């Protein structure tokens, strides 16, 4: 694993750097493997990155889009991560509809939809028995409680290792999420973290010891590929980061 930690002066610089790394990672994946398979993040930090991507010329038919997690709402709901990425980016570029794998939030059965999400990943990657699906780029954010994707502190989803996707939970509300083994096996993980409310969690995540059920993002540090932590100065101001 190669871990990079960069502190950018402000949110705009963080967005520029994340955008540049995203473009590099897409080109590197296409050069090496003929396609770039991405998992996108929700939350407020990635939206301006998606807006920049909406103005790019890229080999869209070689780019495949999934989500790292999803709120349990339809895609046209204002809280939908897929809806946000479509509005900011995907609806404005010539990516084939069949390359976009919206996380299923169809019925009133989150557990069944988590199974569908798991099957969506399995059918796309068709990993060999015992092997993991390998995303080229997983974009992630972190909440001030240290969660990433929808892997929240002290929830059952943290311990799921025999599935690619599972049911997460935020204060009793269902979420759908990739599991840690899938996140950890990506070629590249791009964590973008902005705002002073993230300092405490970051201090723990980069401390010598840490309870990673309390601060789940710490587990990304067991990744096998490239792990980028892009922090803005507000998030990073802390003696231990
Ligand atoms: C979500 C994401 C979540 C997000 C963090 C950071 O759907 O909300 O899964 O993990 O990335 O909460 O959010 P901000 O970028 O808004 O701080």
Read off the pLDDT of residues 157-190 as tens digits, 9 standing for 90 and up: 999 999 999 999 999 999 999 999 999 999 999 9
pLDDT the model gives residue 238: 62
Write down the pTM of the prediction: 0.97
Residue 130: pLDDT band with limits 50, 70, 90 = confident
Burial label for 96, CB within 10 Å (0-12, 13-18, 19+), is exposed
Other CB atoms within 10 A of residue 109 CB: 12
By percentage, how much of the chain surpasses pLDDT 90? 96
CATH number of 35-190, picked from 3.40.50.300, 3.30.479.30, 3.40.50.1360, 3.30.300.30: 3.40.50.1360
pLDDT the model gives residue 137: 99
DSSP type of residue 103:
P
Residue 130 gets the label, from left (phi > 0), alpha (psi -120 to 50) or beta, of left
Burial track 140-152 (b if 16+ CB lie within 10 A, e otherwise): bbbbebbbbbbbb
pLDDT the model gives residue 237: 80
Does 241 have pLDDT greater than 90? no
Does 223 have pLDDT greater than 70? yes
What's the gap in Å between 32 CA and the centre of ligand 1?
30
> Ligand 1, closest atom to CA 192?
15
Does 6 have pLDDT greater than 90? yes
More confident residue, 130 or 218: 218
Average pLDDT over the chain, rounded to whole?
Answer: 96
By percentage, how much of the chain surpasses pLDDT 70? 98
Does 113 have pLDDT greater than 70? yes
Does 13 have pLDDT greater than 60? yes
Q: What is the pLDDT of residues 30-81, one digit of tens each?
A: 999 999 999 999 999 999 999 999 999 999 999 999 999 999 999 999 999 9
Query: Which residues have CB under 6 Å of ligand 1?
Result: 41-45, 69, 81, 141-143, 147-150
What's the gap in Å between 107 CA and the centre of ligand 1?
23
What's the gap in Å between 129 CA and the centre of ligand 1?
32
Q: Atom 2, ligand 1: which residue's CA is nearest?
A: 42
Q: How far is it, in rounded angstroms, from Cα 29 to Cα 113?
A: 29
């Amino acid at each position: 694993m190669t871990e990079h930690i960069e502190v950018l002066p402000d949110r705009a610089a963080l967005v520029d750097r994340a955008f540049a790394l995203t473009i590099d990672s897409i080109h590197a994946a296409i050069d090496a493997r003929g396609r770039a398979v991405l998992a996108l993040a929700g939350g407020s930090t990635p939206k301006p990155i998606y807006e920049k991507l909406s103005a790019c010329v890229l080999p869209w038919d070689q780019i495949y889009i999934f989500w790292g997690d999803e709120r349990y709402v339809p895609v046209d709901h204002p809280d939908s991560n897929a809806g946000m990425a479509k509005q900011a980016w995907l609806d404005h570029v010539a990516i084939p509809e069949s390359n976009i794998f919206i996380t299923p939030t169809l019925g009133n059965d989150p557990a069944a939809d988590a199974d569908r999400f798991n099957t969506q990943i399995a059918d796309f990657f068709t990993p060999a028995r015992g092997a993991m699906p390998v995303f080229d780029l997983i974009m992630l954010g972190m909440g001030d409680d240290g969660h990433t994707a929808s892997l929240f502190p002290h929830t059952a989803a943290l311990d799921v290792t025999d599935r690619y996707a599972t049911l997460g939970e935020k204060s009793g509300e269902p979420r759908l999420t990739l599991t840690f083994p899938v996140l950890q096996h990506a070629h590249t993980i791009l964590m973008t973290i902005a705002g002073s409310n993230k300092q405490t969690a970051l201090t723990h995540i980069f401390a010598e010891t840490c309870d990673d059920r309390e601060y789940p993002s710490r587990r990304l540090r067991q990744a096998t590929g490239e792990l980028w932590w892009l922090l803005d100065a507000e998030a990073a101001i802390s003696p231990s980061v």
